[in-house]
């Protein structure tokens, strides 16, 4: 079993749709969690951190469920510019290697 697993996708949705991605992790001691966005052939960039209380940034909402060991990303009112690959990242308790999911590809169509 992979340490971090994401919905395989791809997700193809119309503009204005709401879409949700899930990511499960196996290390219960994991301390910090992130969602990154990667555009085609570009470097990954931080989209948002994920906190236990959940957090929202405009149309994006991230949530963490420690009991079930998963994080989620909800995108409301999808825009064409949201088309990208979304990577979930799980960090260990101390300085060391992060674990990236393989990513979920989203295509938003007119």
Partner 1 sequence: NAGVTQTPKFQVLKTGQSMTLQCAQDMNHNSMYWYRQDPGMGLRLIYYSASEGTTDKGEVPNGYNVSRLNKREFSLRLESAAPSQTSVYFCASSHLSDTQYFGPGTRLTVL
Q: CA-CA distance, 35 to 49, in Å (whole number)?
A: 6
User: In this complex, which beta carbon is closest to partner 1, that of residue 3 or of residue 15?
Assistant: 3
Residue selected from 13, 17, 27, 102 as contacting partner 1 according to rule CB under 8 A: 102
Relative to beta strand 60-65, strand 11-14 is unpaired
> Which part of the chain contacts partner 1 (CB under 8 A), choosing from 20-28, 60-68, 74-82, 84-92?
84-92
Contacting partner 1 within 1-20 (CB under 8 A): none
Residue selected from 12, 15, 18, 42 as contacting partner 1 according to rule CB under 8 A: 42
Residue selected from 17, 44, 55, 70 as contacting partner 1 according to rule CB under 8 A: 44
**In Å, what is the CA distance from 33 to each residue of 14, 17, 38, 90, 91?**
28, 25, 16, 5, 6
- Residue tagged 């236990």 (tokens): 52
Relative to beta strand 70-75, strand 19-25 is antiparallel
- Residues lying near partner 1 in the complex (CB under 8 A): 31-32, 34, 41-46, 49, 87, 89, 91-98, 100-103
């Amino acid at each position: 079993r992979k340490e971090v697993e994401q919905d395989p996708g791809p997700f193809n949705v119309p503009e204005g749709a709401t879409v949700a991605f899930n990511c499960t992790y196996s290390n219960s001691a994991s301390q910090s969690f992130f969602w990154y966005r990667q555009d085609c052939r570009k470097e990954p960039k931080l989209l948002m951190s994920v906190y236990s209380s959940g957090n929202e940034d405009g149309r994006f909402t991230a949530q963490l469920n420690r009991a079930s060991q998963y994080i989620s990303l909800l995108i409301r009112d999808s825009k064409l510019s949201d088309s990208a690959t979304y990577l979930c990242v799980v960090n260990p308790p101390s300085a060391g290697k992060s674990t990236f999911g393989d990513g979920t590809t989203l295509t938003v169509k007119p």
